[in-house]
């Protein structure tokens, strides 16, 4: 019995037990220290414990998450503030939404900031200003339109790639994204609003904007495309406005939209300008007649040259003519796009310039010099000197809220 064991033996047994417990604790401390110093072991342990919990307590989801409707009298849009944002779309269809403050104002002829980590075979296609309640009309190169709300586009950081548009629009076809722009609810309800569509080979048409308010999940045909042609530009307009367009070689034409009869949604359209062989359309915009005398045409080329030309330098012409020379181009340079900007936008607005390498410059519009119609313009952005293939691919004009 215990009473028969000598005290010396009892003391020896207790010391042995304490030593054994100490050795076990030291071994456990060593393992825990190794675990904390090794990220892979921490993640493996978290994964193992999570799987054990899931196996022990996991069951089928009993609730359903509805994105389109929260209740009979409340929609998801009611919970989203109508804040301004910037939407960036790449040529391969990656899209993301950023806060307006993502890009700071910079000086002219600077390199800008990276707009996203692009794939090697991808580039920035569209950058524009919108509000979270706006509907985004997404036009594909084969002449179809799809729609989603601006707040449905996942928000990303300035350097993120974004998410593929087909993951948001499940019925998107295999064509490329050629045009995306925002439309507010008030604009959809305006009966005077029309949509002007222009193909790269110069076919143009005008349809009512209300035809695109209810778009099926698999999209709608907006223009019958011929083989070798694709839809390139879409703008909202009224009948009292004019249209101005430019070819890549710098030939420009202005004509009143009243001469362009509204047609059905699937019609092919009519000729806009006579193009020489090998030339295609570079850009198109709408002119507000009430502001035309104080407005100018912003012209940006692929080598980063830009200028503002008073719209009074372009007279109305008959549609399907040759147009007039709109800019003096350097060798290997061509017109990338054009935009109509009024005096208020020039005074308070900014221009976002996107390049092939993925950089974006944010520059005050007033720093773009005003020139004559045939002038060459000035350098607006410094292209990547490490490659000879860097080019300006698109711009966005933002009018700052006062």
pLDDT tens-digit readout, 179-210: 788 888 888 888 888 999 999 999 999 999 98
Q: What is the mean pLDDT of residues 377-381?
A: 87
Question: Of 157-161, 313-317, 331-335, which gets the smallest average pLDDT?
Answer: 157-161
Predicted pLDDT of residue 311: 94
Name the 3-class secondary structure at 36.
helix
Q: pLDDT per residue over 215-274, tens digit each?
A: 888 889 999 888 889 998 888 888 889 999 999 999 999 999 989 988 888 888 999 999
Task: Please determine, for residue 116, whether its predicted confidence score (pLDDT) is greater than 80.
Answer: no
pLDDT at 74 over 70: no
d(CA 155, CA 163): 10
Q: Check whether 142 has a pLDDT greater than 80.
A: yes
pLDDT over threshold 60, residue 1? no
The mean pLDDT of 325-349, rounded to a whole number, is: 90
Quick check: 122 pLDDT over 70? no
Percent of the chain with pLDDT over 90: 29
| Token code pair at residue 112 | 């800008």
pLDDT given for residue 101 in this prediction = 67
Question: What is the pLDDT confidence band of residue 283, given thresholds at 50, 70 and 90?
Answer: very high
- The pLDDT score that the predictor gives to residue 275 is 93
Structural tokens at position 277: 């062989």
309 pLDDT above the threshold of 60: yes
Average pLDDT score, the chain = 83
In this prediction, residue 65 carries a pLDDT of 65
In a 3-state reduction of DSSP, which class is residue 359?
Answer: strand
Beta bridge partners of 396: 352
Integer-rounded Cα Rg, in Å, for the chain is 30
**pLDDT recorded at residue 402:** 45
Pairing of strands 135-140, 177-183: antiparallel
Report phi then psi at 166, rounded to 5: -60, -20
Quote the CA–CA distance of 119 and 358 in Å, as a whole number: 10
Give me the pLDDT at residue 356, please. Answer: 81
Closest CA to 309 of 330, 338, 348: 338
Helix (H, G, I), strand (E, B) or coil at 309: strand
Average pLDDT over residues 346-354: 85
Contact present, 299 and 227 (Cβ < 8 Å): no
| pLDDT for the residue numbered 297 | 95
Q: Which two tokens stand for residue 274?
A: 């006579």
Check pLDDT > 80 for residue 8. no
39-57 and 7-37 helices, crossing angle to 10°:
100
- Could you count the other beta carbons within 10 Å of the beta carbon of residue 76? 14
Residue 331 has pLDDT above 60, yes or no: yes
pTM: 0.68
Do residues 160 and 99 touch, judged by C-beta distance below 8 A? Answer: no
92 pLDDT higher than 70: yes
Look at residue 339 and tell me whether its pLDDT is greater than 50.
yes
Query: How confident is residue 161, by pLDDT bands cut at 50, 70 and 90?
Result: confident
């Amino acid at each position: 019995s215990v009473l028969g064991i000598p005290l010396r033996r009892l003391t020896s047994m207790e010391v042995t037990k304490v030593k054994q417990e100490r050795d076990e604790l030291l071994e456990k401390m060593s393992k825990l220290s190794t675990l904390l110093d090794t990220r892979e072991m921490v993640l493996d342990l978290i994964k193992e414990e999570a799987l054990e919990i899931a196996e022990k307590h996991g069951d089928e989801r009993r609730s359903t998450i509805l994105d389109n409707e929260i209740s009979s009298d409340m929609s998801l849009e009611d919970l989203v503030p109508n804040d301004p944002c910037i939407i960036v779309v790449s040529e391969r269809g990656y899209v993301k939404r950023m806060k307006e403050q993502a890009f700071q104002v910079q000086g002219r002829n600077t390199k800008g900031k990276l707009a996203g980590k692009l794939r090697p075979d991808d580039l920035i296609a569209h950058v524009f200003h919108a509000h979270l309640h706006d509907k985004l009309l997404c036009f594909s190169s084969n002449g179809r339109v799809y729609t989603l709300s601006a707040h449905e586009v996942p928000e990303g950081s300035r350097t993120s790639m974004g998410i593929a548009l087909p993951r948001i629009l499940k019925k998107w076809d295999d064509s490329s994204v050629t045009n995306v722009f925002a439309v507010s609810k008030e604009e959809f309800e305006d009966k005077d609003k029309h949509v002007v569509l222009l193909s790269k080979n110069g076919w143009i048409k005008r349809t009512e904007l209300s035809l695109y308010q209810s778009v099926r999940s698999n999209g709608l045909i907006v223009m019958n495309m011929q083989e070798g042609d694709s839809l390139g530009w879409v703008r909202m307009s009224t009948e009292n406005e004019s249209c101005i367009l430019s070819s890549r070689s710098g030939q420009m034409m202005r004509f009143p939209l009243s001469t362009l009869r509204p047609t059905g949604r699937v019609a092919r359209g009519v000729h806009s300008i006579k193009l020489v062989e090998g030339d295609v359309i570079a850009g198109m915009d709408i002119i507000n007649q009430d502001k035309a005398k104080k407005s100018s045409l912003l012209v940006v080329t692929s080598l980063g040259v830009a200028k503002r030309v008073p719209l009074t330098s372009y007279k109305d012409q008959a549609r399907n003519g040759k147009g007039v020379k709109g800019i003096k181009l350097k060798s290997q340079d061509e017109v990338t796009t054009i935009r109509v900007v009024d005096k208020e936008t020039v005074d308070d607005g900014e221009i976002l310039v996107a390049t092939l390498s993925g950089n974006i410059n944010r520059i005050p519009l007033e720093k773009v010099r005003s020139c004559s119609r045939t002038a060459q313009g000035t350098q607006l952005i410094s292209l990547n000197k490490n490659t000879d293939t860097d080019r300006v691919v698109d711009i966005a004009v933002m009018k700052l809220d006062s």
